[in-house]
Chains A and B, each alone.
Chain A
Amino acid sequence: MASPTPVLKDELDIVIPTIRNLDFLEMWRPFFQPYHLIIVQDGDPSKVIKVPKGFDYELYNRNDINRILGPKASCISFKDSACRCFGYMVSKKKYIFTIDDDCFVAKDPSGNDINALEQHIKNLLTPSTPFFFNTLYDPYREGTDFVRGYPFSLREGVPTAVSHGLWLNIPDYDAPTQLVKPRERNTRFVDAVLTIPKGTLFPMCGMNLAFDRELIGPAMYFGLMGDGQPIGRYDDMWAGWCMKVICDHLGLGVKTGLPYIWHSKASNPFVNLKKEYKGIYWQEELIPFFQAATLPKECTTVQSCYKELSKQVKAKLGKVDEYFIKLSDAMLTWIEAWDELNPSAPLPNGNAK
């Protein structure tokens, strides 16, 4: 009999970037109410964001970010949901769950509401298996196990740093795909969680994401996007690639699959195309860069890995566009700001007290 999933209400913060309103929280109330929310308000700081009653939250707008970080605030994006990573930085909890304000509770094939947060917690509290692929997916799930041929020495797995959830209804397509298939909806409920193998990169979507802040927090920088930047909609991608390289280096796991949320809003594909345009070209260079990136074995903390990565970004990607020089500096600023707000000697794997 499986023991109930711990609620972890004092160990988990929910980070939500928003620019309009937080009405969507009403639908999540049964699942989110026990938790502390960190709301990062993007856009005009003079606008008042109404938070539904009964939630315990702290809210930061641009003025707060500038005040808290001072000149280091330059690393936090403006007019882009990438600003959410500020929430990761100020949180004091072990786990973070982040969700977009157009994501609602989905239903499983039996018609029951999906408690996305509970599934993320399950994913994070059970090990990952990045060194050998299990054909029955996550072996720690109820009703399944390691298959024949799976070496016993690898069955303990490694700690899970990230849990990447998926979306029903509006799929997370890029602008060109959206333009070609405006009516496509993701209706397929794939009842699986799986570990992304070591050495394999993936496009990490920030819409429905949870991670262990103590294990991997400093690597979850969502880059420079939005106002004043040549690119948008690549914030989570950038964080995902950096994060995976570091997880692979430090022996941490990344899971993808369940839980599903219901993504309700399709953003305008023409607006998206303008934002993504440079990214679509740049990603052809970025992927080989990240695939080939290696970190020296002296890098044993997330921060040192990240700083090393930023050096490589500057050296190798600076030639692609000077944006990457700016980005690599911002990566360093982010680490400085992170360490300032989270003071304590980082132990290997970033296990801070």
Chain B
Amino acid sequence: MSTPCPPSLLSLAIDAALFNLHNISDLSFLPEHLLIDLFLRTLRAGKLTDRILRIFVATGKEEILSVIQALNIQFVLTPVLPTITIDSNEVDIVIAAFHSDLTSFMEEWRPIFSRFHLIIVEDPDLKEELKIPKGFDFDVYTKSDIDKLAGSSNAAMFSGYSCRYFGYLVSKRKYIISIDDDCSPAKDNNGDLVDIVTQHITNLRTPATPFFFNTLYDPYRKGADFVRGYPFGLRSGVTCVLSCGLWLNLADYDAPTQSLKPELRNSRYVDAVLTVPKNTLMPMSGINLAFDREMVGPALLPALKLAKEGKFRWETIEDIWCGLVVKAVCDHLDLGVKTGLPYVSRNERGSAIDSLKKEWEGVKLMEELVPFFQSLKLSPEAVTAESCVTEIAAAVKKGLGRSHTELANVADSMVAWLKIWKEVRSRV
């Protein structure tokens, strides 16, 4: 009987390495044949973990890599589960088309929009037919659809930027996401494309916290929570019905500001969503927003048309008006409004100075509108968005209509809108 050979010094050394593998983070110094030996012993000892596999792979040595491949050893992939599943039947994406050729716009948004239904409303002034690329599920509405539904007397309500409200009107879904047709997807700080649909829907599906400010912003975001001192009674929040996104590159500045600072571009990606507190008014931008149509649809209305409203955002304040109305409704009904993410990237278009020369009215009007809305009080009987809007329209006619004729028309438009809204609802 022969006694087994005592282990060589080399063998003992490799065993020692195996024993201490948890302390080793780099094996690139090992000659290849020893590396293989260590690897096989690791396998036999059942010590191959994800971390250790990475260390072997990191040596870059060909033989090791081919052994790993030959044995079909793979890294364990932890799937990134979506935290929120969006039912595409709940979402309509409404786009107002000011350009007939929507090909490049749609292609840019394809990765994000392709699984959703789109409502495209053509600017009634556009004469050409729309060009839309294949592969989308969409409906187009044109001037004739507007004329038919709204009637000739009300069709003017849906002209220019306000044509998108027609899209809100005919939608049958719960959530609407609406962006201007001069926006592209933005990139976040990691270089990933911002999925505005997921972010807007997340904002709308998590509660808002308008009664007390949380210093870590939206407490429902991953990695955040309510801070010390936040009353527990307020932590369930309220339903969020409006999500206002932001813009990189050409931010939504007014014409005077952009003219004064022609080089000013927004490059700051602020990674926050926050609730706009109760009784705080804000300028709502129509460029990138989403809302719960079932809860506040009636309050997103086309009403304030400037005399010289044009085809650039600098020449409108219809969305600003809308935002004041919606916020007043939300504050009264204890509903929430969020602002912040998601970002879109807004492309260069138009000249601020030209717009400024053309349209000053909006800027002047804001001076009257803000104090009016700040002092607005709605009655306790107004318990729906419709009844709130009715009361606001009456207050506008009485309070502002007398001094400004265009605002008297606004009140009438609001009432007309509610009538059409009700009518369309009743047909469903």
Task: Name A's B-contacting residues (CB within 8 A).
Answer: 109, 131-137, 143-154, 164, 166, 171-174, 177, 181, 184-192, 196-205, 233-234, 236-237, 240, 256, 276, 280, 283-284, 286-287, 291
Interface centre among A174, A184, A286 (most CB of B within 10 A): A174
B233 & A284 in contact (Cβ 8 Å cutoff): yes
Kindly state whether residue B213 has any CB partner on chain A within 8 Å: yes
A203 & B252 in contact (Cβ 8 Å cutoff): no
A153 & B367 in contact (Cβ 8 Å cutoff): yes
A135 & B215 in contact (Cβ 8 Å cutoff): no
Q: Known contacts A143-B267, A190-B271: does B366 contact A202 (CB below 8 Å)?
A: no
Task: Identify B232's interface contact among A144, A173, A181, A280, CB under 8 A.
Answer: A280
Task: Identify A233's interface contact among B228, B233, B281, B284, CB under 8 A.
Answer: B228
Closest 8 CB pairs of A and B: A203-B229, A149-B283, A149-B320, A202-B213, A133-B282, A197-B280, A200-B277, A148-B254
Q: Which residue of B lies closest to A165 (CB)?
A: B215
Kindly state whether residue B225 has any CB partner on chain A within 8 Å: yes
Kindly state whether residue B234 has any CB partner on chain A within 8 Å: yes
A26 to chain B, nearest CB (A): 28
B388 to chain A, nearest CB (A): 20
Q: Once bound together, how far apart are the Cα atoms of A203 and B269, in whole Å?
A: 25
25 contacts between A and B (CB under 8 A): A133-B339, A143-B268, A144-B251, A145-B257, A149-B283, A149-B320, A149-B323, A152-B366, A153-B367, A164-B215, A171-B216, A174-B227, A186-B224, A188-B271, A191-B271, A192-B268, A199-B279, A200-B278, A201-B212, A201-B213, A203-B212, A203-B213, A205-B228, A256-B215, A287-B231
Residues on the A chain within 8 Å of B370, using CB: 132, 151, 154
Task: Identify B280's interface contact among A199, A202, A205, A236, CB under 8 A.
Answer: A199
Q: Which residue of A lies closest to B369 (CB)?
A: A151
A148 & B216 in contact (Cβ 8 Å cutoff): no
Residues on the A chain within 8 Å of B231, using CB: 283-284, 286-287
Task: Name B's A-contacting residues (CB within 8 A).
Answer: 189, 211-217, 221, 223-234, 244, 246, 251-254, 257, 261, 264, 266-272, 276-285, 313-314, 317, 320, 323, 339, 362-363, 366-367, 370, 374
Residues on the B chain within 8 Å of A184, using CB: 223, 225
Q: Once bound together, how far apart are the Cα atoms of A189 and B363, in whole Å?
A: 34
B234 & A181 in contact (Cβ 8 Å cutoff): no
B271 & A145 in contact (Cβ 8 Å cutoff): no
A135 & B285 in contact (Cβ 8 Å cutoff): yes
B296 to chain A, nearest CB (A): 18
A148 & B283 in contact (Cβ 8 Å cutoff): yes
Residues on the B chain within 8 Å of A133, using CB: 276, 280-283, 339
A135 & B244 in contact (Cβ 8 Å cutoff): yes
Q: Once bound together, how far apart are the Cα atoms of A173 and B281, in whole Å?
A: 29
A-B contacts besides A146-B254, A173-B225, 4 pairs, CB < 8 Å: A146-B257, A186-B223, A190-B271, A200-B280
Residues on the A chain within 8 Å of B246, using CB: 135-136
A172 to chain B, nearest CB (A): 5
Q: Once bound together, how far apart are the Cα atoms of A162 and B77, in whole Å?
A: 48
Q: Once bound together, how far apart are the Cα atoms of A277 and B268, in whole Å?
A: 41
A196 & B271 in contact (Cβ 8 Å cutoff): no
A150 & B227 in contact (Cβ 8 Å cutoff): no
Q: Which residue of A lies closest to B189 (CB)?
A: A109
Residues on the A chain within 8 Å of B277, using CB: 196-197, 199-200
Q: Once bound together, how far apart are the Cα atoms of A184 and B189, in whole Å?
A: 22
Task: Identify B225's interface contact among A181, A240, A286, CB under 8 A.
Answer: A181
A203 & B253 in contact (Cβ 8 Å cutoff): no
A144 & B367 in contact (Cβ 8 Å cutoff): no
Q: Once bound together, how far apart are the Cα atoms of A237 and B215, in whole Å?
A: 12
Residues on the B chain within 8 Å of A191, using CB: 268-271
B150 to chain A, nearest CB (A): 26
Residues on the A chain within 8 Å of B261, using CB: 145
Residues on the A chain within 8 Å of B217, using CB: 190
B376 to chain A, nearest CB (A): 14
Q: Once bound together, how far apart are the Cα atoms of A154 and B278, in whole Å?
A: 19
B270 & A188 in contact (Cβ 8 Å cutoff): no
A203 & B283 in contact (Cβ 8 Å cutoff): no
A148 & B215 in contact (Cβ 8 Å cutoff): no
Residues on the B chain within 8 Å of A134, using CB: 282-283
Q: Once bound together, how far apart are the Cα atoms of A134 and B214, in whole Å?
A: 17
A61 to chain B, nearest CB (A): 27
Q: Once bound together, how far apart are the Cα atoms of A233 and B227, in whole Å?
A: 12
B223 & A149 in contact (Cβ 8 Å cutoff): no
Residues on the A chain within 8 Å of B257, using CB: 145-146, 148
B286 to chain A, nearest CB (A): 10
Q: Known contacts A153-B367, A192-B270: does B228 contact A148 (CB below 8 Å)?
A: no
Q: Which residue of A lies closest to B221 (CB)?
A: A188
Q: Which residue of A lies closest to B276 (CB)?
A: A133
B253 & A187 in contact (Cβ 8 Å cutoff): no
Q: Which residue of A lies closest to B264 (CB)?
A: A145
Q: Which residue of A lies closest to B213 (CB)?
A: A202
Q: Once bound together, how far apart are the Cα atoms of A45 and B370, in whole Å?
A: 56
Residues on the A chain within 8 Å of B252, using CB: 135, 147-148
Q: Known contacts A148-B253, A151-B366: does B270 contact A137 (CB below 8 Å)?
A: yes
Q: Known contacts A147-B251, A150-B366, A287-B212: does B283 contact A135 (CB below 8 Å)?
A: yes
Interface centre among B229, B234, B252, B270 (most CB of A within 10 A): B229
Task: Identify B229's interface contact among A153, A171, A200, A283, CB under 8 A.
Answer: A283
Q: Known contacts A148-B313, A177-B226: does B213 contact A190 (CB below 8 Å)?
A: no
Task: Identify A148's interface contact among B224, B233, B320, CB under 8 A.
Answer: B320
Residues on the A chain within 8 Å of B211, using CB: 291
A174 & B234 in contact (Cβ 8 Å cutoff): no
Residues on the A chain within 8 Å of B362, using CB: 149
Q: Once bound together, how far apart are the Cα atoms of A284 and B230, in whole Å?
A: 9
Q: Once bound together, how far apart are the Cα atoms of A204 and B374, in whole Å?
A: 26
Residues on the A chain within 8 Å of B215, using CB: 164, 166, 172, 202-203, 205, 256
B253 & A171 in contact (Cβ 8 Å cutoff): no
A125 to chain B, nearest CB (A): 20
Q: Which residue of B lies closest to A279 (CB)?
A: B229
Q: Once bound together, how far apart are the Cα atoms of A256 and B212, in whole Å?
A: 14
Residues on the B chain within 8 Å of A187, using CB: 223
Residues on the A chain within 8 Å of B244, using CB: 135
A136 & B266 in contact (Cβ 8 Å cutoff): yes
B222 to chain A, nearest CB (A): 9
Q: Which residue of A lies closest to B234 (CB)?
A: A287
Interface centre among A148, A190, A192, A284 (most CB of B within 10 A): A148
Q: Once bound together, how far apart are the Cα atoms of A184 and B226, in whole Å?
A: 12
Q: Which residue of A lies closest to B277 (CB)?
A: A200
